[in-house]
Chain A
Amino acid sequence: DIQMTQSPSSLSTSVGDRVTITCQASQDIGNHLNWYQQKPGKAPKFLIYDASNLETGVPSRFSGSGSGTDFTFTISSLQPEDIATYYCQQYDNLPITFGQGTRLEIK
């Protein structure tokens, strides 16, 4: 199975901050990577597909980049509604695997 390692596991942030989360795959997955946002008690929300493509309706402050084994997810200016846990997910090989999540907290 392809292991997805996110860092950090949690991040204390402030409104307006630039937030960066990294996701590393245990092998080359090309651009076969997606990002999700999950708020407590809710289902995940699809944000970014194929590493860098923003899903329709997702605010442009969210972005993704990377290919191969190293990927980055960025929120350019954190808003209060962005407080959530974020997951990366690879689909290069089955089983689909997710990172362990990065929880954002307000300072």
Chain B
Amino acid sequence: EVQLLESGGGLVQPGGSLRLSCTASGFTFSSYAMSWVRQTPGKGLEWVSAISGNGGSTYYADSVKGRFTISRDKSKNTLYLQINSLRAEDTAVYFCARDYSNNWPRGLDYWGQGTLVTVSS
């Protein structure tokens, strides 16, 4: 059974940093691209970033480019999102999701339960 479990969310002040983690199980982690998608409370879905199966290619939304860094550790079956210079508008539930592609982001067939990031002073 495919499972994705996010952690690392919390309350952080504007300008602060967090590292989100997503531990994967039930599939060959390196065979799939992975994405982070966020959802503002009561609002829609915003794709944030993706990384290819081998970690060699990364992709970012313009709204986070230069502040967020996606990475993955094959030995730990874990996906990461380092988020720096946090702003109030980054407040959201962050989901990690498996892509059914190995490289180019296409569709997200499994999702974690999400972790809440709140940016507030």
Residues of A within 8 A of B (CB): 32, 34, 36, 38, 42-46, 49, 55, 87, 89, 91, 94-101
Q: Are A98 and B107 in contact (CB under 8 A)?
A: no
B80 lies within 8 A of chain A by Cβ = no
Q: Are B114 and A46 in contact (CB under 8 A)?
A: no
Most chain B CB within 10 A, of A49, A95, A99, is at A95
Smallest beta-carbon distance A104→chain B, Å: 15
Smallest beta-carbon distance A26→chain B, Å: 16
* Residue among A42, A45, A46, A96 making CB contact with B47, cutoff 8 Å: A96
Compute how far the CA of A99 lies from the CA of B44 in the bound complex, rounded to whole angstroms: 8
Most chain B CB within 10 A, of A32, A46, A55, A100, is at A46
Q: Are A94 and B105 in contact (CB under 8 A)?
A: yes
Given A43-B113, A43-B114, A97-B47, are A89 and B107 also a contact pair (CB < 8 Å)? yes
Compute how far the CA of A100 lies from the CA of B100 in the bound complex, rounded to whole angstroms: 23
Q: Which residue of B lies closest to A94 (CB)?
A: B59
Extra contacts besides A36-B45, A44-B111, A95-B61 (12): CB < 8 Å = A43-B95, A43-B111, A43-B113, A45-B111, A46-B110, A49-B106, A49-B109, A91-B105, A91-B107, A95-B62, A96-B35, A96-B50
* Residue among A38, A43, A55, A89 making CB contact with B112, cutoff 8 Å: A43
* 16 A-B interface contacts by CB (under 8 A): A34-B106, A34-B107, A34-B108, A44-B95, A46-B111, A49-B100, A49-B106, A49-B109, A87-B45, A96-B105, A98-B46, A98-B47, A99-B44, A100-B44, A101-B44, A101-B45
Compute how far the CA of A44 lies from the CA of B110 in the bound complex, rounded to whole angstroms: 8
Most chain B CB within 10 A, of A45, A96, A98, is at A96
